[in-house]
């Protein structure tokens, strides 16, 4: 069926699908980066909408013909795509928070870099952890789960049928809490080792006051932090692979709660 043969109801359904894919593309990791040109994001969203729209079977739906009746449907589609992209951003942000906490303990907080994904400034170690987590996501095919979830969303939540339920609110709130718990669990070895290192240098400064503890402390802190960060990353990679491997189930549960 060519676009020229579309009726108003079919055009309205296609517009809702396009809004859903566009909001997901602009919020998902990597593609939502400010470094990606807007024309590329718009082209990808339009391509996805063209490909999955025929399978949505939205042509027979009765959509409002006035703006005030159509506006809630637009908001609902934007919410669906935003929630899907925001969910995976939470997982990557947890890794970034872990690196931010470890970098602060190591004294890297004064050496910040611009985060092209979020647009803010983060420590070098936090950006390194974030990029490694993103590479793991690409390695296990986590980015493909986005497109599968978008195709499934048209079946689980047809265009114009989004509902902000209590179950959805609870799941998003639980994911937000798990983000901080995951960051603390992954960063606990590094933070703990640096804490004991700081305590040890404090004791050393009291027992040997002639020593310039600032000159000695920075290299020791950085060395201990990098060693434990390397060990943490080696342990963290299989954990992230498991998390991103179950991303499809997580997104499906969110869609079922809508």
Residues 6+ apart with CB under 8 A from 219: none
The pLDDT of residue 206 is: 79
The pLDDT of residue 238 is: 82
Residues 6+ apart with CB under 8 A from 51: none
The Cβ of residue 103 has, within 10 Å, a number of other Cβ atoms equal to 26
The pLDDT of residue 203 is: 83
Between CA 227 and CA 154 the distance in angstroms is 47
Between CA 182 and CA 77 the distance in angstroms is 30
Between CA 224 and CA 193 the distance in angstroms is 7
The pLDDT of residue 1 is: 46
Residues 6+ apart with CB under 8 A from 164: 79, 258
Q: Which residues of the chain have pLDDT under 50?
A: 1-2, 59
């Amino acid at each position: 069926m060519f676009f020229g043969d579309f009726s108003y109801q079919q055009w309205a359904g296609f517009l809702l699908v396009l809004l859903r894919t566009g909001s997901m593309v602009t919020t998902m990791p990597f593609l939502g980066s400010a470094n990606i040109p807007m024309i590329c994001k718009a082209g990808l969203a339009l391509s996805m909408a063209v490909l999955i729209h025929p399978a949505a079977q939205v042509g027979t739906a009765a959509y409002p013909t006035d703006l005030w009746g159509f506006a809630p449907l637009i908001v609902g589609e934007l919410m669906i795509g935003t929630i899907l992209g925001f969910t995976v951003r939470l997982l990557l942000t947890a890794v970034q928070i872990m690196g931010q906490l470890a970098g602060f303990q190591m004294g890297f907080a004064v050496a910040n870099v611009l985060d092209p994904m979020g647009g803010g400034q983060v420590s070098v170690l936090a950006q390194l952890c974030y990029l490694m987590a993103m590479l793991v996501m690409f390695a296990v095919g986590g980015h493909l789960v986005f497109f599968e979830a978008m195709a499934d969303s048209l079946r689980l939540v047809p265009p114009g049928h989004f509902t902000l339920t209590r179950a959805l609110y609870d799941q998003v709130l639980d994911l937000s809490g798990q983000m901080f718990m995951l960051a603390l669990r992954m960063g606990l070895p590094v933070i703990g080792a640096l804490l004991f290192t700081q305590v040890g240098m404090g004791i050393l400064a009291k027992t040997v006051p002639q020593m310039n503890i600032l000159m000695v402390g920075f290299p020791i802190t950085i060395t201990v932090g990098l060693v434990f960060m390397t060990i943490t990353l080696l342990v963290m990679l299989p954990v992230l692979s498991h998390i991103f491997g179950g991303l499809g189930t997580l997104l499906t549960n969110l869609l079922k709660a809508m």
